[in-house]
Amino acid sequence: MDRLGQFLSSMKAHDNKRLNESMKYNDLMLLVDKGGSRLQKESIPDEVCMELKKKMEQTWDISKSYWYPLFECKRPDLIAFNSQYIESEEKLEVIISLLKNHGVEQVLEFLETDHSYKIEVSNLYPYYCYNGEFIGGEGFWCSDKMDWIIYASHEGTITFGGDWLVKSLKSLWSDWKQNIDWDTKN
């Protein structure tokens, strides 16, 4: 089995107590959020990361380091919110709950810092600045199925993609139309 296959199998295996024997110490990153909780992130090996990013870029029509709404995208199943509207604990809980209800357990995180991680969906924090600290930058979050995506930009937008996810957010947030200043698709 190639590295991508092994990595995707480990995502499916989903065992927090045991790390893959081939992992190095540097492959695991622990962060502490403002509440003192430990957030575990597993580094994605470079060659696997390149394959996954290529798959994400092809699936979601991403041709630059930045994406919709900063750059046009052919996909119709997108919505770009003003980040202030999304950056709250309540909205984050809704997003995580929707993903969990859709069967998402683990998330791929691709940051503009060239760091890429596999994280638990409950540790998702899809914002420009990671946990309020200026260490994350722009980022993409998706699953290995590539049926949804989140993109946080440096211009104060957070884009969601995937027909099921966009429809769910619109149905849950009645005021969504007042919070999509950059969006050209909705």
DSSP string, 125-181: --SSSGGGSTT--SEEEE-TT-S-EEEE-TTSEEEEESHHHHHHHHHH-TTGGGG-T
What's the pLDDT at 174? 96
What's the pLDDT at 19? 33
In terms of Cβ atoms closer than 10 Å to its own Cβ (0-12, 13-18, 19+), residue 120 is: middle
pLDDT tens per residue across span 83-110 = 999 999 999 999 999 999 999 999 999 9
Q: Tell me the pTM.
A: 0.81
Domains of the chain by residue range = 3-179
| Mean pLDDT across 110-136 | 80
pLDDT at 170 over 50: yes
Which residues are CB-neighbours of 158 under 8 A, at least 6 positions away? 80, 81, 83, 86, 87, 126, 127, 150, 151, 152
